[in-house]
């Protein structure tokens, strides 16, 4: 209703009431037109094993009564992060050293790749800063950028020294490319030439093959961790946007709040760029496969919060972006897929139930009946008295309007011959609501009526 409320700022109280009622009436009408909407949820269930659906329904029923039970709307399979995979690779390298294999360098191969990932993150962040400050950059900002470039260049040079031991061909290729441009000016664009970035002519050698396998193991959890960061950033951005709309007023607070939103948006863009790079690197190393169900191509339309404050569609029409149902790395892919199906089905089932409640208003009907049926006797007497009083006033108004409209509907007929509404409504004993019933039909509005001619005498 935010957009509608803004349009009623200059309206009076009555116009605002009419405008809001018009919008609500239109939305309710479209709900009636879309009453078959739950069929989409039924289509989601098609093809699922009946025994699994029965088990999930029982799980939802149990959780609705006891929230300490397993939540059917959340994953219960533990995921392995990039740090877990890195630790696993370190342990493998440690075992190989104990077995007599001499390390190529003091820095382990997995640590070498992890440092490369960190340098890539710093490059992406610096590139976003340069793009953001390209149009209007102060001297202080320009100095900060140059300092970041210098620090990053030192890290890249140290990385190349280790790369010389593990990937000599890639090191020679990288240094020859760096000589073609000013390294300090374009440090954020320097390619590290990790196994996923090597040209096909350099894809040979035992060391390069083992490094490529390690990078493939690390890239998948890195992409999953990036999606987690993206979801967290989206939640923060949505919270800031909601807080700004509901709690912030005034030019100075709004400017400050908008600055926070801009920084949150900057972080989201940087994380999205990082995911694009990691997903492409993983695809280069492993090619096409089942992993694409988890790490899909990230589109701009996919980057949306669970509850977007700018959304204009209702809950029943909402579609969930794949980034919110993507699962990470686990030990059993079949269990993970079963978990993902359960979570997606449970959420679709909940949206279906909510849609039915919105259309049929069953919950509201039960609430109204329970409210009026459970009133205390002292309050019930006053409510009943007020209701009967209002009913009498409306009947009296109907009589009044019918007498006014007689000349236009009967043309000469006697108003006494018309069938008027019955006003003999019983009042609760002991309740004084006035003598509206005893007044009889209003005659003051019919003084100018000529029963013989059926016209008004002006």
How much is the pTM?
0.52
Half-sphere exposure of 372 (CA within 13 A, CB side): 8
- Note the pLDDT of residue 425: 39
Q: Look at 69-73, 89-93, 115-119, 190-194 and tell me which has the smallest mean pLDDT.
A: 89-93
Give pLDDT tens digits for 204-238. 654 556 788 788 888 888 888 888 888 888 888 88
Q: How confident is residue 336, by pLDDT bands cut at 50, 70 and 90?
A: low
Q: Identify the pLDDT of residue 438.
A: 42
> Is the pLDDT at 300 greater than 80, yes or no?
yes
Contacts of 408 by beta carbon, 8 Å cutoff, 6+ apart: none
Exposed/middle/buried for 194, CB within 10 Å: 0-12, 13-18, 19+? buried
Tell me which range, 118-122, 175-179, 361-365, is most confidently predicted by mean pLDDT: 118-122
For residues 325 and 344, give the distance between their C-alpha atoms in angstroms, rounded to a whole number.
7
Angle at 392 between CA 389 and CA 396, to 5 degrees: 140
Tens-place pLDDT, residues 303-317: 887 655 444 455 455
Label residues 195-224 b or e (16+ Cβ within 10 Å = b): bbbbeeebeeeebbeebbebbbbbbbbbbb
Residue 456 pairs with which residues in a beta bridge?
Answer: 449
**Which tens digits make up the pLDDT trace of 338-360?**
666 777 778 777 777 766 655 55
pLDDT at 393 over 60: yes
Tell me what pLDDT residue 449 has. Answer: 36
Average pLDDT, stretch 383-405? 84
Write down the pLDDT at residue 458. Answer: 28
Tens-place pLDDT, residues 245-289: 877 777 888 888 888 888 888 888 888 988 988 888 888 887 777
User: For 308, left (φ over 0), alpha (ψ -120 to 50), or beta?
Assistant: beta
Q: For residue 18, give every residue at least 6 positions away whose Cβ sits within 8 Å of its Cβ, in sequence order, or none.
A: none
Give the model's pLDDT for residue 440: 44
The mean pLDDT of the chain is 72
Among the residue ranges 122-126, 132-136, 428-432, the one predicted with the least confidence is 428-432
Distance of CA 175 to the CA centre of its chain: 45
Mean pLDDT within 64-77:
79
Compare 316 and 8 and report the one with higher pLDDT. Answer: 8
pLDDT score recorded for residue 208? 57
Model confidence at 28, pLDDT cuts 50, 70, 90, reads confident
Phi, psi for residue 57 in degrees, rounded to 5: -60, -40
Two tokens at 72?
């059917």
Highest mean pLDDT among 100-109, 130-139, 321-330, 446-455: 130-139
From 60-64, 97-101, 262-266, 278-282, the region with the lowest mean pLDDT: 97-101
Angle at CA 189, nearest 5°, toward 187 and 190? Answer: 70
Say how many C-beta atoms besides its own lie within 10 A of residue 261's C-beta.
16
Asked if the model's pLDDT at residue 18 lies above 80, the reply is yes
Query: For residue 450, is pLDDT > 60?
Result: no
Q: Residue range 59-77: average pLDDT?
A: 82
Work out the pLDDT band at 188, boundaries 50, 70, 90.
confident
Residue 439 makes CB contacts below 8 A (sequence gap 6+) with 396
């Amino acid at each position: 209703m935010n957009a509608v409320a803004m349009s009623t700022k200059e309206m009076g109280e009555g116009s605002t009431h009419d405008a809001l009622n018009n919008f609500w009436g239109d939305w309710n009408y479209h709900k009636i037109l879309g009453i078959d909407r739950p069929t989409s949820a039924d289509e989601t269930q098609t093809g699922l094993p009946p025994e699994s659906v029965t088990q999930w329904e029982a799980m939802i029923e149990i959780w609705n009564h006891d929230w300490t039970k397993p939540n059917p709307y959340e994953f219960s399979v533990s995921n392995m992060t990039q740090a877990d995979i890195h630790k696993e690779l370190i342990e493998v390298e440690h075992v190989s050293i104990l077995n007599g294999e001499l390390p190529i360098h003091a820095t382990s191969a997995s640590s070498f790749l992890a440092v490369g990932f960190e340098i890539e993150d710093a490059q992406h962040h610096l590139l976003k800063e340069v793009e953001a400050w390209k149009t209007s950059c102060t001297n202080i900002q320009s100095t900060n950028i140059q300092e970041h470039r210098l620090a990053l260049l030192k890290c890249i040079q140290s990385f190349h020294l280790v790369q010389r031991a593990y990937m000599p061909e890639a090191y020679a290729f990288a240094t020859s490319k760096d000589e073609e441009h000013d390294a300090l000016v374009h440090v954020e664009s320097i390619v590290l030439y990790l196994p996923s970035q090597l040209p096909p002519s350099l894809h040979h050698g035992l060391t390069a093959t083992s490094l490529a396998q390690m990078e493939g193991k690390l890239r998948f959890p890195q992409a999953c961790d990036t999606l987690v960061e993206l979801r967290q950033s989206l939640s923060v951005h949505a919270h800031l946007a909601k807080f700004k709309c509901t709690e912030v007023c005034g030019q100075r607070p709004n400017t400050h709040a908008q600055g926070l939103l801009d920084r949150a948006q900057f972080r989201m863009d940087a994380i999205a760029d990082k995911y694009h790079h990691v997903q492409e690197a993983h695809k280069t190393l492993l090619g096409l496969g089942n992993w694409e169900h988890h790490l899909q191509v990230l589109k701009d339309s996919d980057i949306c919060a669970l509850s977007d404050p700018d959304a204009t569609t209702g809950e029943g029409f909402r579609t969930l972006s794949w980034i919110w149902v993507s699962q990470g790395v686990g030990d059993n892919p079949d269990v993970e897929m079963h978990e993902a199906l359960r979570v997606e089905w449970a959420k679709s089932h909940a949206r279906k139930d909510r849609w039915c409640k919105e259309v049929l208003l069953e919950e509201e009907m039960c609430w109204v009946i329970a409210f009026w049926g459970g009133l205390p006797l002292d309050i019930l007497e006053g409510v009943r008295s007020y209701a009967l009083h209002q009913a009498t006033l409306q009947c009296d108004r109907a009589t009044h309007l019918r007498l006014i409209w007689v000349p236009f509907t009967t043309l000469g007929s006697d108003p006494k011959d018309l069938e008027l509404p019955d006003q003999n409504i019983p009042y609760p004993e002991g309740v004084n609501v006035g003598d509206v019933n005893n007044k009889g039909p209003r005659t003051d509005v019919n003084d100018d009526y000529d029963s013989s001619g059926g016209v008004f005498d002006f």
